[in-house]
Amino acid sequence: MNKRLTCLICIICLLIRANHSIAENGYELWLRYYKIENQNLVHRYRSIIGIPTVIGDSPTVQAAREELTHALKGLLDFTFNFKSKLSPSSKLIVSKASHLVSREDLNKIGDEGYLIRSSGKMTILTANTDIGLLYGVFHFIRLLQTHASIEKVNIASAPKLKLRMLNHWDNFNRTVERGYAGYSIWEWHKLPEYINQRYIDYARANASIGINAVTVTNVNANVNFMTTPYIEKLKALADVFRPYGIKLFLTAKFSAPIELGKLKTADPLIDSVQTFWNDRTKEIYSKIPDFGGYLIKANSEGQPGPQDYKRSHADGANMLAKAVSPYHGIVIWRAFVYSTDNTRDRHKQAYDEFMPLDGKFLPNVMVQVKNGPIDFMPREPFHPLFGAMPKTPLMMEFQITQEYLGQGTHWVYLAPLFKEVLDADTYAKGKGSTVAKVLDGSVSIHSLTGMTGVANIGTDMNWCSHPMAQSNWFALGRLAWDYSLSSEDIAEDWLKMTFTNDTSFINPIKKIMMQSREIIVHYMNPLGLHHIMATGHHYGPGPWVSNLNRPEWNPTYYHKADSNGIGFDRTATGSNALEQYHPEARKQWEDLNSCDEKYLLWFHHVPWNYKMKSGKTLWDELCRLYNQGVEEVSWMQDEWRKIHGKIDDPRYTHVSQLLMIQAKEAAWWRNACTLYFQSINKLPLPAGYPVADHTLEYYKNYRALDAPGNGGQN
């Protein structure tokens, strides 16, 4: 009988473990509140927390209370009966503007910051606003998830940037432009009556990392979203987001006065056009009182804009700014522009159009600038507009979705890319004028500050297609809150919150994450090569493409490989794009012999036999890096295999299979690119270099018919 009972218990335990594995599908993101196994830690946490007191009854405070309840139940396996009033037995006190801390300390954290202080006997979590309390609760939960000490903490945290945003490129038909994780999560045909739980969990995830604004529609805008029925649908989303401190913005099409208002023009200086926008904006605010404002893409890639009427970007932005100004809204005007009639280096176009407009935008306009001057490449120099428009608040636009970085199948942790740009020195007001300090208004004083990321979110169960791609959403939010955080610390927090606190898992996987961006640069775009992806969908290599209508759509435009050398000359002897940078900033790139080799072919056309710092010729070094990238993906696979059994099987297997794709495609990149460039320079491959498994003609003729993401440019 005892033997049978023992077998039955074993079977039940196996079933429980199996069910646990099945449940590990990544849906929880980093809000994964699984029981802490270390019982000593559990007991210590319980004794410090006691019976929590959460004071307040607003929807935001209720969200904070619910999140804390959910987290404490899951992590500590204990149901806490919260108090709503302060008592002598209270140990964890969550209260707005607590009298237990000084007004001076509260003044330092502003409207969204929070304080967490513990003396060992009492822990106080306080803020000036309800949303500050919610942010503080998520920080406190993060301490528990990462097994940090909460006995004696003294945390004062406030965001460095005011607007911390996600841009969704979601279309009217629920496809997602440059999206690799399924369809749009917004079920327009069910809104406004049906609220999917996913919307609430999305808001929770954003609030947990400090995201406070979103656009839910594509910058290639559809005017239908400005009609009354869709304003009602947007209102339903705004109502979900509001308790979590998230403002809804709308991408608007500049030609809406013609398409919706039946006007004959959208000229921003025409009174009837201004009236159209005033009326439409008034309707939106009547439904969504905290509506954030408009995000506009204009006169870029065929989108309508003020230049259609010989007006400036400032004319267009200011017209909309006047419409939202009575409601304290803002306009975010994208600086990503390049046009068919501009034959100059694409690197220069945004600067040429926007720098002369510095000081001409109304105070409630932000200009949103991509991190680099081309288009979200695996590596780019920082955009020259940063530091060049001191009278205009600039907003950073990063891409979280991996349009040019392997899309939904390659493992690339983007925090090092984000940090590389944020820490870059513009020298706008002398040494130390970093891009981050331009953004936060400390280089030139601005009341509007912000950072956004193009979202990688879709209907896939795990939200982001690749389980490890969730880290980039997480990193964007954390850096928008505090750009001084290190990539390593963000990675460690994310791994602990998403997988396990086991250091035998954390340490090797964090090492992979920290190297993953450089690895993809090696096998895709080494030494400053850029935009040599296949055209349209940008999936896979296409350095040979040269037959598209617009020159800047062709990879050959960017690498300019010929029998003599390779690379784009952007010095004074070429396009002179370097003139757009401050003299101290461009010193690192302008001299061929001292140029940072990471950007060598971005700024210089270099002879194939040029001697690199390694002692190799440029050609041999290029080949070495391409092959190194392939070998490094094999290393990633080996390291991942070593952690088998340390996390749940479903996610382990998912990542393993995606690494197989990444390894295959890294070799595809290496073979296709080196064969193509060899056909140009006629040089032999270095001794021992792997033989390609196909001919160059095979790679040229290959058509990725199943490439993910729909077409179009952004």
**C-alpha span between 441 and 430 (Å, rounded):** 15
Q: Please say if the pLDDT value at position 13 is more than 60.
A: no
| pLDDT tens figures, 557-613 | 999 999 999 999 999 999 999 999 999 999 999 999 999 999 999 999 999 999 999
For residues 357 and 260, give the distance between their C-alpha atoms in angstroms, rounded to a whole number.
29
Give the pairing of strands 163-167 and 450-454: parallel
- pLDDT for position 11: 38
Q: What's the pLDDT at 9? A: 35
The question of whether 665 is a catalytic residue gets the answer no
Given a cut of 50, whether residue 26 has pLDDT beyond it is yes
The CB-side HSE value for 615 (13 A sphere, CA atoms) comes to 0
Q: How far apart are CA 394 and CA 332, in angstroms?
A: 9
Evaluated on CA atoms 286, 292, 294, 297, the torsion sign reads: negative
Closest CA to 435 of 209, 126, 160: 160
d(CA 301, CA 336): 9
- Nearest in space to 406 (alpha carbons), one of 553, 567, 523, 529: 523
List, for residues 651-672, the tens digit of each pLDDT value: 999 999 999 999 999 999 999 9
1: pLDDT strictly greater than 70: no
Which among 31, 63, 84 is positioned nearest to 133, based on CA atoms? 63
pLDDT band at 644 (very low <50, low <70, confident <90, very high): very high
pLDDT at 714: 58
pLDDT level of residue 2 (50, 70, 90 thresholds): low
Note if 375 is an active site residue. Answer: yes
Position 713 pLDDT exceeds 60: no
The pLDDT of 235-241, averaged and rounded, is 98
| Strand, helix or coil for residue 467 | helix
pLDDT at 711 over 50: no
Q: What H or E segment, with its residue span, contains residue 637?
A: helix 618-642
* pLDDT over threshold 60, residue 238: yes
- Banded model confidence at residue 451, pLDDT cuts 50, 70, 90: very high
Report percent pLDDT > 70 for the chain: 96
As a whole number, the mean pLDDT across the chain is 94
Pairing of strands 154-157, 394-399: unpaired
The catalytic position among 24, 345, 375, 590 is 375
Question: What span, in angstroms and rounded, lies between the C-alpha atoms of 73 and 248?
Answer: 32
Closest CA to 366 of 306, 452, 307: 452
The burial class, CB within 10 Å (0-12 / 13-18 / 19+), for 278 is middle
**pLDDT of 17 higher than 50:** no
Q: pLDDT band at 709, cuts 50/70/90?
A: low
C-beta neighbour count of 291 within 10 angstroms:
23
- Residue 167 CB contacts under 8 Å (≥ 6 apart), including other chains: 214, 215, 219, 295, 397, 452, 453, 454, 455
pLDDT at residue 19 tops 50: no
Which helix (H) or strand (E) element contains residue 505?
helix 503-524
Active site residue 301: yes
> CB-side exposure of 161: number of CA atoms within 13 Å?
32
Question: Residue 238 phi/psi, 5° resolution?
Answer: -60, -35
CB of 165 closer than 8 Å to CB of 294: no
| Mean pLDDT of all residues in 469-480 | 98
Using DSSP, state whether 132 is helix, strand or coil. helix
Q: Residue 123's beta-bridge partner residues? A: 92, 118
The model's pLDDT over 96-110, given as tens digits with 9 standing for 90+, comes to: 998 889 999 999 999
pLDDT surpasses 90 at 131:
yes
Tell me the pLDDT tens digit for each residue of 603-635: 999 999 999 999 999 999 999 999 999 999 999
Radius of gyration from C-alpha coordinates of the chain: 27
* pLDDT at residue 340, rounded to an integer: 64
Q: How confident is the model at residue 23, as a pLDDT?
A: 59
Q: Residue 114's beta-bridge partner residues?
A: 157
CB neighbourhood size of 265 (10 A): 15
d(CA 411, CA 523): 13
Res. 121 pLDDT band, cuts 50 70 90: confident
- Nearest-angstrom CA–CA distance, 669 and 523: 6
Phi, then psi, of 83 in degrees rounded to 5: -95, 150
CA 471 to CA 455: how far, in whole Å? 12
Please name the amino acid found at residue 431: K
DSSP string, 352-396: HHHGGGTT-S-TTEEEEEESSSSSS-SS-PPPTTTTT-TTS-EEE
Residue type, 305: G
Sign of the alpha-carbon dihedral angle for 35, 36, 40, 46: negative
Nearest to 224 by CA among 259, 175, 262: 259
Closest to 383 (Cα-Cα) out of 419, 435, 334: 435
Q: How remote is the C-alpha of 400 from its chain's centroid? A: 3
Q: Each residue of 240-291: pLDDT tens digit?
A: 999 999 999 999 999 999 999 999 999 999 999 999 999 999 999 999 999 9
**Is residue 35 a contact partner of residue 75, using CB atoms and an 8 Å limit?**
yes
Task: Give the C-alpha separation, 475 to 400, whole Å.
Answer: 9
Indicate the pTM of the whole model: 0.95
pLDDT score of 178 more than 50: yes
The CA-based angle 505-507-509, given to 5 degrees, is: 65
Comparing CA positions, the residue from 175, 166, 179 lying closest to residue 456 is 179
Instruction: Give the active site residue among 403, 460, 648, 665.
Output: 403
> What confidence score (pLDDT) does residue 410 get?
98
Q: Given 259, 290, 301, 639, which residue is catalytic? A: 301
Question: Once rounded to an integer, what is the mean pLDDT over residues 457-481?
Answer: 98
- For the segment 317-321, the average pLDDT, to the nearest whole number, is 98
CA-to-CA distance for 610 and 650, rounded, in angstroms?
49
Instruction: Kindly tell me if the per-residue pLDDT of 3 is higher than 70.
Output: no
In angstroms, the CA 499 to CA 505 distance is: 9
From residue 598, alpha-carbon distances to 175, 434, 577, 699 in Å are 35, 19, 17, 26
DSSP string, 57-96: -SHHHHHHHHHHHHHHHHHH------BSS--TT--EEEEE
CA 20, 26, 31, 36 torsion-angle sign: positive
